[in-house]
Amino acid sequence: MLPHQRSPGEAQEEKVRRSLAGQGYAQAFGASDSEIRKRLGITGKCADFVGYLPELDKWLIAESKGNHMQAAVEQIENTLHGLLTKESDATEKTELRIYTNYRQYQRMIEDPRGASGYRINDSFLGYEPDNTFVYLEIKGVRVKVIQEGEE
């Protein structure tokens, strides 16, 4: 697909993939959603990026979303499950990230309702039942939220 034919979401995904690959993350399970899904044996949607940083022995699962945080969480969860079927010791070595646009990021910080009920505290995703922040964790790993264009 030519760059001018991509949707804004597809362009954002590609930008995140290029940035992370440029940081040295090897894409052992593919460089597209479909490759990652196939190679990790995932049913349903998966995250945009699965990378491994050999010098730190660290995995990264990242999803780029303009909104629909619940969908991003589900995609990351599916992908982490798939990664753990191939790399059983990866849980403690894995970082989980959601990249989002400025508007959504600010909404999750400033609006008491957040975005779809999700808020950000100290750069991590969570929610506030009873006015107490609870970090969202997937298999014990917190989900970091990064505003598009920052790192």
The answer to whether the CB of 58 falls within 8 A of the CB of 94 is yes
Rounded to 5°, angle at Cα 99 from 98 and 101? 135
Radius of gyration in angstroms for the set of CA atoms belonging to the chain, rounded to a whole number: 15
Q: Are 98 and 146 in contact (CB under 8 A)?
A: yes
**pLDDT surpassing 60 at residue 4:** no
> So what's the pLDDT on residue 66?
78
- For 36-86, write each residue's pLDDT tens digit: 999 999 999 999 999 999 999 999 999 998 778 999 999 999 999 999 999
Q: pTM value?
A: 0.91
The predicted-structure confidence for 79-134, as pLDDT tens digits, reads as follows 999 999 999 989 899 999 999 999 999 999 998 888 888 999 999 999 998 889 99
